[in-house]
Structures are given as C-alpha cells and as structure tokens.
Structure 1
Amino acid sequence: MTVPRRPLSPASRRATQAVAALGAAALLLTGCGSDDGSDNASSDKGGSASAGTRTIKDATGTAVKVPAHPKRIVTLTQEDLDAVLALGVKPVGITNGQGLDKPPAYLAGKVKGIDVVGNLLQPVMDKVVAAKPDLILAGDMQDEQVLKQLREITPATVVTMAPTDDWKLTLRGIGNAVGELPKANKVISDHKRAAKAAGKKLGANKGAEVSIVRWNPDGPSWMENKQFASGVALEMGLKRPKNQNKDGNAHTPSLSLEKINEIDGDWLFLSTLTSDGEKALKDVQKKPAYKDLGAVKKKHVVTVNGSVWSTRGGPLAADEVMNDISEALTKK
C-alpha cells in the first residue's frame, strides 16, 4: 500500500515512520490552545507566551513559535489553502494544486489576486520572501533542506500534516496555528451534520455500495476507507464494496486488467490526475472487461475531479465530494 498522493524517496520513507508516530498526538496537542491565544501544550521560556506570540506543536511534534494573530500567511499545499479559506482567513501566498500548474479549480474563485509562490510543496524561495509571511503552513513537507530555508524566512513555519492524519485533525492543527481553533471545531461539526443529512436524501441509493477509484497510467487503484473521499462517503451512510472495505488511508497498487472486477460496485466514482491517466482510462473503456462491470452496465459510472477526490482533503473539498455524490445518486 502507498500513502495517497505524494510518493516518497527511501530517505523520506524512513523519516515518515518517525513522523507518523508523533503526528496524531502532536496535532491533538495543538488543539489544546486556549481562547486567550495561549497554548496549554507548550509555552515560551519562563512559562508564558511572550507578547504577540504563542508556542504550538506542529504535526511532527516540533515546538514552533507563531504570531498570536498572524496577518500574512503562505500556504504550500491545497489542503492548507482549503483549510484557511474555510476558516475565513485569506493567505497572501499560495501554491498550485496537485498535478496542476494553477490553483485548484474548486478554490479558484476564492483566491483571485493572491500571489502563487510555486507548485505543490515546491516553493520558489524568492517568491516566498516577496510575500513577507509571518506564518508559513508547510503541509506534509518532509524535505529538511527546504524547511530550513523556509524557517530562515520566518521561524513560524508549521508542518501541518503527518502521513496518517485525516483532514479533520489537520484542520484543528491549522485552526490552532492561525488562532481559529473554535471555528475549526465548528466547521467539522457542521460538516458531519451536513453529510448525515445529505445521506438521508439519497432515496433508493441510500446505503448503496460506492467504489472510489483513481485511474493511473498503469491501471486503476481503489481507495481504502480512511482515504479522504471514502471517509466522506461513509459519513453519508454509504457503504464500500466488500473487497474495498479496508481500514487504511491509502490507494491500492494499480490493478491489472485481469483484476478490474475489484473496482466494481453499485456506483463507480472515477478520477484521474494526469493526461496519461486519462488516456489509459479511455483505452480501457473500450475493452470488454470494463464494459462487463455491473456499474458500467447500469450506467452508474461518475467521472469526478481527481485534484479534489484524490487529495488528503479539507472542509471545502469535502463539500465538493458530498455534492458530487448527492448529485449523481439523486439524478433522475
């Protein structure tokens, strides 16, 4: 199994093991920030926060001093961007979306006029400097050299995601970092209520089995239950096909044509991330093995946006997934 989205080098993979052990606990600690802006998990020397700053722990367990009220935030992943926008915070610098050379389409209307400082987890340092950040949200950045450069720009550089963290845990950590933890908790509560309500409106498709698949150049891979889009579907009361009912947070390795039946379900949601993936999908759609899938015969195949469905997610992306499912399953 591979962690969804970003492939790791062997060195990064070793670092990931240590990060994963600390990640969830660390971000839960960041959720302990009090309403007055102090942080119960850690503090400045002398036992209290200095004027205008707080000390939090990021997703790696590292203590980071951040502004009590950050004004100039740079986000290095679309998940960080999604989160701050959902919290009502407008950053001064962002990166392009996953697999894109522009910001993700579902957020485009909310980021007009904001400077792009690089691609996903690949900041152009001169552009970051020009944004004059007082807080950098560095996503799941694992490159220590890049982190060092970012911390030279501002020590308030926060790794917001550990490899196994879900979007809700990440949102709470980001909410604490930007001083909006109560709002983060409300966003999560509102989402849970909305997902439950949407699931009740699915009529004959209520409780249907949904297969969630990303088509790669070398074949399809289905998503485990704790992967972002799968989690949204389960919150709506939907089910996964029996062979996909696995509790991990990854995509499976790409399947061969001989195993394509593993992606079948009452409904099949398909996404791609690259033009090569799109081409591979079009080629397979002409073959009998694909045409024999139950979902294909019932015309229950829905093409969705991979730059939303195949990410680690956020509250605004969760709304997109929920809307896509609701539209498809209630369409007459």
Structure 2
Amino acid sequence: MPSHSTPARSARLRGLQLLAVTGAAALLLTACGSDSGGDSGSGSGSGDKAANQAAGGTRTVKDATGKAVEVPAAPQRIVTLTQEDLDAVLALGITPVGITNGQGLDKPPAYLADRVRDVKVVGNLLQPVMDKVIAAKPDLILAGDMQDEQMLKQLREITPATVVTMAPTDDWKLSLRGIGNAVNKLAKANEVIAGYDAKAKKAGEGLTANKGAEVSIVRWNPDGPSWMEKKQFASGVALDMGLKRPKAQDKDGNAHTPPLSLEKLQEIDGDWLFLSTLTADAQEALKDVQKKPAYQQLGAVRNNHVVTVDGSVWSTRGGPLAASAVVDDLTKALAS
C-alpha cells in the first residue's frame, strides 16, 4: 500500500485502483501545455481566460479522477486533507489555512509541526469536520485520494474548487506536479523535484563503505512487520540514492506485505534495517519481539545496523519534505 496504511485504508485504496489509469497524470494534461512564461498552469488558452488569470480570476484543471475543476488562479485560503497535500504546499511556499492530522496521529506530523504551528486542524486524515472546514473559509480544498463521493459532495458545497490530487499508483513526484498545477505553481514544483534529485544523487555518491548497501525498509504493526516494495515512497528514495533492496524485498510495486510471522522474519533482514511504527500498540509489539531469538539472530541486529525512523515520514506515500527527511536519515546512518 502506498500511503495511509491502516487495514481499512488498504481496502479503500484497492477500490481506488480503477482511478489509477487517470491519476495525477490527468491533472497534468493541461499543465504540460500551459506552463510557458511562468506558473500559469492549465487554462483554456482563450483571451478571456488569460484576462481572468491576469486579474486573479480562475483556471480549469483536471483532477486525479479526470474531473474538470475550476480553481482560483491565485488561491489564498487552501485547506489540505492529507499529509501529502500539506507537505507539497509547504514545499511550494504556501501555508494553508486548514489541515488534517497526520497518518495514525491526533496531531500534525512531527516533521511538519513547526511549519503549521498556528494553522487550524479541521479533522483527521481524510476525515474533515465540515463545520471546521467551513470556518476556515477555503477557496481551494486539496482532497488527496479521497473517494467518498458523499463527502466530496459536501466539500464541493463549501467550495466547488475541491481537487482530488492523487491516485493510488501516483508517486510523490507526480502528485507534487499535479498539486503544483492546482495551485498555479507547476514551475516551482519542477524546481523542487530537481533540487531533491540533486540532493539524493549527491548523498548517495557521498557514501563510502555503505555505498550501494542493501537496505531493508520495514514498518512494524501490532501483528507483525511488513516490508515495503520497491516503488513505495521511502524505498524509492533509497533507490534514488543508489542503494539496493535485499533479495527478498526486491519486488516491483508500491505496497507493503501483509504482516509477517516470526517464521518469516528473515525477510526483513538486510545490510541495514530501517524500522518504523505508527501507533503505540505497534511500538509495544516491536519491543516484545526484540527480546526473541528470531529477531536477535538477524544479521542487521547482530551488526548493530538497525535504525529506528519516524513512521509518519517513512510509511506514507510521501512528499518533497518527507523525501528530503528520508535522504537525511539514510545519510546520517550510512555515512557514519
């Protein structure tokens, strides 16, 4: 699963696979032909539309489902309903007026907390409280990968400029470009991606003994560990740095495995093991298994190559700020 991975959310995302054909690529269809001369994003190309843009009017974009949505040319009051939307707009230099709590959290994710200290929380991940959204007076709502049509209808009654920004198989770079187009900052989004690519490449090349090491990326759940496939967010960051995945984890896909039993614990081994959790009960389950021989016999454990990382960064579908944080975590561990 690529992002907000509770069991219920996993089932929901499987239901979203039909949307993946369009995805954020649909949102970018107009942007690709209209980014000349700055962050103009999409538009009809007509003289009236151009005049409206110049006057701070509206633009039309396609969202991740292929739906045409009229959005402000210069949105002033943005509400984000996922951590990934929040990460993206902050990276683009925009502070929203309303946000939701982080994945598995009752507060914003720690790595973004300083940036949103004074921003109102309007609900939990993809579960906005409508009265709080109304109070935020948004002129643009970024709705992540929401598929609840009833909730989308309510949001569009608050503002028709409600954009589904991502589909299940979209990686963070594609989602960022789609979000960048929606907020009329596509050129800035491309700059952010270029900056990340340069950082990841430089960091990977700067590794010495651990250059090209096999890194196991695992989230510990209450009922056991799950390792991440190669196209999952943090896995992609590791690959961007020139790192590799253990043979057992060298699988194409953007999901994670079902929780593994102790008998299959060798699947999480690697030159280095990066472990994350999202909930308190998962942390307790990890503490319990760390006392068991099956865990203690892992090569990464015996070599003292186990690194605990923030699940709200590593276990999501990601954004540019999270990607930069993962590069930093990998560099800190592997360059020492």
* Structure 2 gaps, min length 5: none
Could you tell me which residue of structure 1 aligns to residue 19 of structure 2?
A: 19
**Equivalent runs, 1:74-153 vs 2, <5 Å:** 74-153=79-158
Contact in 1 for aligned 2:100/2:125 (Cα 8 Å): yes
Structure 1 residue 3: Cα displacement? 4.7
Contact in 2 for aligned 1:44/1:54 (Cα 8 Å): no
Could you tell me which residue of structure 2 aligns to residue 230 of structure 1?
A: 235
Q: Aligned match of 2:247 in 242, 256, 265?
A: 242
* Structure 1 gaps, min length 5: none
Aligned-partner Cα distance in 1 for 2:14–2:219? 26
Matched, 1:292 2:313: no
Aligned-partner Cα distance in 1 for 2:82–2:75? 18
Matched, 1:320 2:325: yes
Q: Aligned match of 2:268 in 241, 255, 263?
A: 263
Could you tell me which residue of structure 2 aligns to residue 208 of structure 1?
A: 213
Structure 1 residue 278: Cα displacement? 0.7
Contact in 2 for aligned 1:93/1:114 (Cα 8 Å): yes
Aligned-partner Cα distance in 1 for 2:2–2:202? 30
Structure 1 residue 30: Cα displacement? 4.8
Corresponding pairs, count: 329
Contact in 1 for aligned 2:277/2:283 (Cα 8 Å): yes
Could you tell me which residue of structure 1 aligns to residue 178 of structure 2?
A: 173
Instruction: Letter of the 1:20 partner, please give it.
Output: A
Q: What CA deviation, in whole Å up to 9, does each residue of 1:136-195 have, x standing for no partner?
A: 000111111110000000000000110000000000001011111000000001100100
Aligned-partner Cα distance in 2 for 1:260–1:10? 22
Q: Secondary structure at the match of 1:205?
A: coil
Q: Secondary structure at the match of 1:322?
A: helix
Structure 1 residue 201: Cα displacement? 1.4
Aligned-partner Cα distance in 2 for 1:289–1:187? 42
Matched, 1:158 2:157: no
**Equivalent runs, 1:306-317 vs 2, <5 Å:** 306-317=311-322
Could you tell me which residue of structure 1 aligns to residue 44 of structure 2?
A: 43
Aligned-partner Cα distance in 2 for 1:278–1:155? 41
Structure 1 residue 37: Cα displacement? 6.2
Structure 1 residue 202: Cα displacement? 1.4
Structure 1 residue 240: Cα displacement? 0.4
Mark the CA change 1:174 to 1:10 in structure 2 (over 3 Å): closer, same or farther.
closer
- Give the fraction of aligned pairs with identical amino acids, expressed as a percent: 74
Aligned-partner Cα distance in 1 for 2:329–2:116? 22
Structure 1 residue 229: Cα displacement? 0.3
Instruction: Letter of the 1:23 partner, please give it.
Output: G
Mark the CA change 1:233 to 1:39 in structure 2 (over 3 Å): closer, same or farther.
closer
Mark the CA change 1:283 to 1:72 in structure 2 (over 3 Å): closer, same or farther.
same
Q: What CA deviation, in whole Å up to 9, does each residue of 1:257-284 have, x standing for no partner?
A: 0000000000000001111111111111
Contact in 2 for aligned 1:19/1:162 (Cα 8 Å): yes
Could you tell me which residue of structure 1 aligns to residue 69 of structure 2?
A: 64
Contact in 1 for aligned 2:39/2:187 (Cα 8 Å): no
Give the structure-2-normalised TM-score. Answer: 0.93
Mark the CA change 1:310 to 1:30 in structure 2 (over 3 Å): closer, same or farther.
farther
Aligned-partner Cα distance in 2 for 1:62–1:102? 31
Instruction: Letter of the 2:31 partner, please give it.
Output: G
Give the structure-1-normalised TM-score. Answer: 0.94
Contact in 2 for aligned 1:243/1:262 (Cα 8 Å): yes
Could you tell me which residue of structure 1 aligns to residue 193 of structure 2?
A: 188
Mark the CA change 1:320 to 1:27 in structure 2 (over 3 Å): closer, same or farther.
same
Q: CA RMSD in A?
A: 2.0
Mark the CA change 1:127 to 1:319 in structure 2 (over 3 Å): closer, same or farther.
same
Q: Secondary structure at the match of 2:331?
A: helix
Q: What CA deviation, in whole Å up to 9, does each residue of 1:258-316 have, x standing for no partner?
A: 00000000000000111111111111100000000000000000000000000010000
Aligned-partner Cα distance in 1 for 2:278–2:11? 25
Q: Secondary structure at the match of 1:203?
A: coil
